[in-house]
Amino acid sequence: MDLRPSPEQEQLIEAFASLYAKESPPDRVRAAEPGGFDKALWERVLDLGVVAMAVGEDAGGWGASLLDLALIAEQQGRAVAAVPIIEAQAAARFLERIGTGPLAEVLAGERLVTLALRPAHHGRATMVPAAAVADDAVVVVGDSVVLAPLVDRRTPVENLGSMPVADVDIDVAAGTVLGSGPAALAAFDAALDDWLVLTAAALVGIGARGLEIGVAYVKERRAWGRPIGSYQGIAHRLADSAAAVDGARLLAWEAAWSAAEDPGRLAELAAMAFAFAHESARDATYRALHFHGGYGFMMEYDIQLYYRRARAWATVFAEPRAVYERAADRRYGSRGEPR
C-alpha cells in the first residue's frame, strides 16, 4: 500500500492550499463568525466543482476518489475555512448511492443539502451540521431516509466552533422519502463513513496548522535568555503532538484509500481515523495554545481559532470513546448502544 499522493493529487493539494491562502485567511474566518459560513467562498469552491467531483461520472460528477476528497478536506482544516464542503460532498455521495433526490440540482450548486448525523427523535434532528445555511437535510426517521426541507424549520445552535449548526423540526409529509428499509439505511451509514473520513482529514489539517503556529511562537518567545521551545518540557510535548498528527494523517489516508481498495474495512477504519484525529488535533491545539500563555486565549491570536474548532468540528458527531465503540462494532459486530 503506497499512500504517497500522485502527481495529480499533489496538484490538487496545491490548488486548494493556494485557494484557501487567498480566500480564507484568519481575518476572513473571524469575519464569518459567529454563523460560520462564508457565502463568497462557498460560491468560489462551487465554481471549482468541489461538490461535483464527489460523485461518479455516470451521475454527472467528476469521479474523484474518497482519498482525493480527503486531501482537499485536510486543506480546509488547515484554513479552518467557513464552508460546508464535507457535509455537501457526503450528502451528494448518498444521493448518488440511493438513486433518488435532487442530485442534479446539488451538483449544479442550486441546492445545498447536508447530512443529519443522528436519527430524528420525536420529530426533531439535533445538532445537524450546516443546517443553519442548507436548503435540505438527509435525515433518518425510523427505518426511512428522508430529504427534509430546512427553511423555517431550523433553530441555529450557538457553538464553540462557530459552525452553522442547527436543530431541525422534521415533518415527513413535507419532505421526500428517499428510501426505506435495510438498503436505504446501509446507504446512509456509508454516507456517515464518508463524513467521518473527511472530517478526520480536516481535523488533521487543524492539528497540523495549530502545531505550526505553536512551534513558531515558542521559537520566538524567550524566557531566561532562551527561546522557550528549547526547554524539554515544551519541546517534548510538541514533538509528541507532531508524531500523533502524522499518525492521524496516515490513518485518515488509509481509511480513504480503503474505500476503493479494501471496502470491507472502510467502516472500521473511518471510525478509527476520526477518533484518533479528534484526539490528536485536540491535544496539539491545547498544547500550542497553552504554550502561548495568556495570549493564547485572546481573540486576536490565531491559535484560538484552531483550539476551538478542533473540539467543535468533531464533537458535533460524538466524543472519541463513542466513535471507538463504533469501530469495534464494525469489526466485531454490534454490541448495542454506546455505553
Instruction: Assess if residue 153 is contained within a domain.
Output: no
Q: Give the pLDDT score at 337.
A: 45
Q: Give the pLDDT score at 3.
A: 79
- Into how many domains does the chain fold? 1
Instruction: Assess if residue 233 is contained within a domain.
Output: yes
Measure Cα distances from 195 to 1, 100, 223, 229 in Å.
Answer: 23, 20, 43, 36
Instruction: Assess if residue 242 is contained within a domain.
Output: yes
Q: Which residues contact 289 (CB under 8 A, 6 or more apart)?
A: 210, 214, 296, 297, 303, 304, 306, 307
Q: Which residues contact 195 (CB under 8 A, 6 or more apart)?
A: 86, 87, 90, 115, 117, 317
Range of the domain at 226: 184-332
Instruction: Assess if residue 298 is contained within a domain.
Output: yes
Instruction: Assess if residue 224 is contained within a domain.
Output: yes
CATH number at residue 275: 1.20.140.10
Instruction: Assess if residue 28 is contained within a domain.
Output: no
Alpha helix (H) residue ranges in 32-115: 39-47, 66-79, 85-98, 103-107
Q: Give the pLDDT score at 308.
A: 96
Which residues, in sequence order, are bridge partners of residue 148? 137
Q: Give the pLDDT score at 339.
A: 37
Contacts by residues 231-236 (CB-CB < 8 Å, ≥ 24 positions apart): 234/291
> For the whole model, what pTM was predicted?
0.95
241 with 284: CB under 8 angstroms? Answer: yes
pLDDT along the chain (339 residues), means of 10: 88 97 97 96 96 96 97 98 98 97 96 97 96 98 97 94 96 94 97 98 98 96 92 96 98 96 95 97 97 89 96 90 89 60
Q: What is the dihedral of CA 255, 204, 52, 323, to 10 degrees?
A: 50
Instruction: Assess if residue 128 is contained within a domain.
Output: no
For residue 268, the one-letter residue type is E
State the pairing for strand pair 144-149/136-141: antiparallel
Q: Give the pLDDT score at 331.
A: 86
CA atoms within a 13 Å half-sphere pointing along the CA-CB vector of 89: 31
Q: Which residues contact 196 (CB under 8 A, 6 or more apart)?
A: 255, 270, 271, 273, 274, 317, 323
Q: Give the pLDDT score at 335.
A: 54
- Order of strands across the sheet that contains 136-141: 113-115, 136-141, 144-149, 176-180
First to last CA, the chain: 35
Q: Give the pLDDT score at 321.
A: 84
Backbone phi, psi, residue 148, to 5°: -105, 130
Burial of 181: CB neighbours in 10 Å, binned 0-12, 13-18, 19+? exposed
200 with 274: CB under 8 angstroms? Answer: yes
Instruction: Assess if residue 82 is contained within a domain.
Output: no
Residues 143-153 as b or e (16 or more Cβ within 10 Å = b): ebbbbbbbeeb
